[in-house]
Amino acid sequence: MAREESEQRIEEQVREAIGAAGPRAAFVIRIPRAAGLALAALAIVLAGFLALAFTMHWWGWGLSPEAKAEREVAQTVSDVAELIVLPEGETPIVATITDAEALKRDQAFYQDAQNGDVLLVFNQAQRAMLYRPSAHRLINVAPIYFAGDAPAASE
């Protein structure tokens, strides 16, 4: 009996709070079911579109081959800059090693090279760097000489 009386008192307090205007005055927004489903579908489509756009931007889908190459060079230079101070104001020539065995036979610089390593050549600074992205390590750094620039061999 006490419980029924307390429930009745609560109902009376709610009616008083709402006032004489009735329940519509409590700012209850009612959306038809079809409109709610349409809004939910629109939100899902919008979220999917945003996810696709982010993924395309992140992975570089839709970029020209030149833009992808520039992005890869910039990333490689950034990774190498974490390991060694790079020459300022110069963009290196970047090449990926695909036949390490042939290079090992030709030059000692490539003795520890593996397929997949990256060669960075800074022409103005006359430096070459061999970088291994899989280990995030510099394998070799050496000066480079152009024809006529090589130091004279002592006799």
- Domain interval for residue 101: 65-143
pLDDT at residue number 8: 81
Q: How far is CA 134 from the centre of its chain?
A: 17
Instruction: Tell whether 53 and 106 lie within a shared domain.
Output: no
Helix (H, G, I), strand (E, B) or coil at 155: coil
Instruction: Tell whether 71 and 137 lie within a shared domain.
Output: yes
Instruction: Tell whether 54 and 84 lie within a shared domain.
Output: no
* Structural domain count, the chain: 2
Cβ-contact 93, 121 below 8 angstroms: yes
Write out pLDDT tens, residues 16-55: 766 655 555 556 667 788 888 888 999 999 999 999 888 8
Residue 155 has pLDDT above 50, yes or no: no
Instruction: Tell whether 115 and 46 lie within a shared domain.
Output: no
Instruction: Tell whether 139 and 112 lie within a shared domain.
Output: yes
Q: What residues contact 97, with CB distance under 8 A and at least 6 apart?
A: 103, 110, 113, 114, 115, 116, 117, 118, 119, 130
Q: Which of 35, 59, 83 is the last residue of a domain?
A: 59
What is the pTM (predicted TM-score) of this model? 0.56
Cβ-contact 69, 60 below 8 angstroms: no
CA distance 132 to 136: 6
Instruction: Tell whether 51 and 115 lie within a shared domain.
Output: no
